[in-house]
Amino acid sequence: MRFALFFMLMCGTAQACNEDLVRVNDWSIRPVDKENSTISLEFASKSEKAIRMIDASAVFEDKLGEIILSFNLDRDVSLKPGLAETTNRRLWPDPKYDRLSKLAKDDIKAYVCVRGLVYEDGSKETFK
């Protein structure tokens, strides 16, 4: 029992999010130089209302559920319903990130984890 309590305290809890509100259309990774790469992510809102602020992360995990990469999206991105946005991130050398270019794309689940947002009309929604 003590071990279980210790484990829960040390590991914390996963933060809840909505994985259905923003969809990933496509992603790619390309080398920039000998050591660094850039990841490009195209995503779009599935909301019926425009979004003016978002607390969200792009997440890439393998088929067994291990997170390979996660990064925060720009909070002030303006998302119109159905219109695609693209973000590019520089990846520094890390063996874990190398898996993104080595694994088959079908073996990687890419999604956007939305924790909260502000709609264009000023209303706010959080996912806890």
Answer whether residue 69 shows pLDDT above 90: yes
pTM of this structure: 0.83
Q: Is the dihedral of CA 40, 46, 49, 55 positive or negative?
A: negative
Neighbouring C-beta atoms of residue 42, cutoff 10 Å: 14
**85 class by beta-carbon count within 10 Å (0-12 exposed, 13-18 middle, 19+ buried):** middle
Q: Which residues lie closer than 8 Å to 52 by C-beta, 6 or more apart?
A: 76, 78, 118, 119, 120
Task: Summarize the confidence of residues 11-30 as an average pLDDT.
Answer: 82
Neighbouring C-beta atoms of residue 57, cutoff 10 Å: 17
Answer whether residue 124 shows pLDDT above 70: yes
Question: What is the chain's mean pLDDT, rounded?
Answer: 88
Name the CATH topology of 14-126.
Answer: Immunoglobulin-like (2.60.40)
pLDDT at 93: 82
Q: What is the tens place of the pLDDT at every residue in 36-54?
A: 899 999 999 999 999 999 9
Q: Please, which pLDDT band fits residue 35 given cuts at 50, 70 and 90?
A: confident
